Amino acid sequence: MQVSSWVVREPARPMTRETREESAGAGEVIVQVAGCGVCHTDLGFFYDGVPTRRPFPLTLGHEISGVVVEAGPGAGSWLGTAVVVPAVLPCGACAACRAGRGQVCPTQIFPGSDVHGGFATHVRLPARGLCAVPDLTDPARNPGGVELADLSVVADAISTPYQAIVRSGLGEGDLAVFVGAGGVGGFGIQVASAMGATVIALDVSRARLEQVAAHGAALVIDPATMDLKELRKQVKAFAESRGIPTWRTKIFETSGTPKGQATAFALLGHGGYLSVIGYTPQAVELRVSNLMAFDATAQGNWGCLPEHYPAIVDLVLGGRIALAPFVERRPLAAINEVFAELHGGGVTRRYVLIPESAS
């Protein structure tokens, strides 16, 4: 099968459209891409020197949805199936996978890093771990009319905070504080609210704060308008007004900035929990002894195990996570302009790139 994709040959240099031949091997499928979301991680690979595991030339893109159009031996049952491709595909057979730690599977496949990704007409991937999407034409299953292309953001922007929230033990009546309300943070706020938590959102963008105030955040704060002491005071006062102690407070760092990570750590209280979801290659100076003094917990989160994906798709199709206010489609041919725009900052929506064949 001929695949057309946008290839990075040199960091921060315009991607070029190129073609290659692909065929599905044993246990593999070829997915015709309906949409591929652009993630902060893609920008890190392209602009910031974050290394991909497969060197350039490489096609980026790991938020993929589409339809299986070719299946290799052992994967025939997937042919014709609409799918969301998990951003992290564990092997399922190694010691880590058998122990339930597929996030650290040493042979996991991360599209757009280990193999060519989804900024293409098609992508070749292991069939194991794919998430089948129900019939989107059925109003009973999809009353909101969600389209397959937009479900691409489930692959990372929604699934990653979902797993972090599940691992935190967040439940009804707890307080969730999100430092960063764009992209992953905006969807994480919706997930936490759907799970019954009270949510505080921090962001320096007024537009993002207005978005999440209408979709799950009970309190929004611009941390740039106050010093850290006042910020801590506001968060504490709000929690006390709701009768929520610090040990029922879960903080999620989703900004991927040094200042955001330092702020999230500084908000930890006694018995608190911090989940680090955002990524920055820059160093952050912290007083780690706070974890000891507060008997607090800090945990990183990498991707999301494939077994969580069906529940996430159900949340979206059931209307408990809104996509339309947070997603904007652009043609795949505009990829270089889209990357430049995102790198410049100020974008409030998740861009989903649509291949010409899917337009």
Shared domain check, 328 and 256: no
Give yes or no: residues 24 and 128 share one domain: yes
Cα separation of 114 and 80, whole Å? 25
How many domains, the chain? 2
pLDDT, average across residues 143-151: 97
pLDDT in tens, 261-319: 999 999 999 999 999 999 998 999 999 999 999 999 999 999 999 999 999 999 999 99
Residue 358 has pLDDT above 60, yes or no: no
146 and 180 together in one domain: no
Tell me what pLDDT residue 19 has: 97
Residue 253 has pLDDT above 70, yes or no: yes
The answer to whether residues 175 and 192 touch, using CB atoms and an 8 Å cutoff, is no
Q: Coil, strand, or helix at residue 143?
A: coil
Same domain for 143 and 17: yes
Regarding whether 181 and 294 lie in a shared domain, the answer is yes
Phi then psi dihedrals of residue 65, to 5 deg: -130, 155
Domain span holding position 289 = 159-300
Quote the pLDDT of residue 359: 46
Residues linked to residue 319 through DSSP beta bridges, in sequence order = none
Q: Which residues, other chains included, contact 320 with Cβ-Cβ below 8 Å and sequence gap of 6+?
A: 190, 194
Q: What are the tens digits of pLDDT across the range 192-216?
A: 999 999 999 999 999 999 999 999 9
**92-132 per-position pLDDT tens digit:** 999 999 999 999 999 999 999 999 999 999 999 999 999 99
* Mean per-residue pLDDT, 176-204: 97
CATH value at residue 80 = 3.90.180.10
Q: Is the pLDDT of residue 217 over 80?
A: yes
Strand partners for 19: 4
Q: Are 48 and 128 in a shared domain?
A: yes
On whether both 320 and 277 belong to a single domain, the answer is no
CATH of the domain at 214: 3.40.50.720
Considering the domain architecture, whether residues 125 and 150 belong to the same structural domain is answered as yes
- The number of helices, as runs of H, and strands, as runs of E, in the chain is 10, 15
> To the nearest whole percent, how much of the chain has pLDDT over 70?
99
Question: Which tops the pLDDT comparison, 254 or 281?
Answer: 254
Average pLDDT, the chain: 97
Residues 181 and 225 in one domain: yes
pLDDT greater than 90 at residue 177: yes
pTM of the model: 0.96
Residue 152: both structure tokens together: 């691409």
Report which of residues 348 and 189 the model is more confident about.
189
For residues 286 and 313, membership in a common domain is answered with no
What does the pLDDT read at residue 265? 98
| Residue at a domain's end among 252, 269, 300 | 300
What's the CA gap between 350 and 321, in Å, rounded?
A: 14
Phi, psi of 33 (to 5 degrees): -75, 125
91 shares a domain with 39: yes
Do 20 and 128 reside in the same domain of the chain? yes
Percent of the chain with pLDDT over 90: 97
* 244 band by pLDDT with thresholds 50, 70 and 90: very high
What is the model's pLDDT at position 346? 85
C-alpha–C-alpha distance, residues 11 and 43, integer Å = 10
> What digits encode the pLDDT tens for the residues 32-73?
999 999 999 999 999 999 999 999 999 999 999 999 999 999
Contact between 97 and 84 (Cβ < 8 Å): no
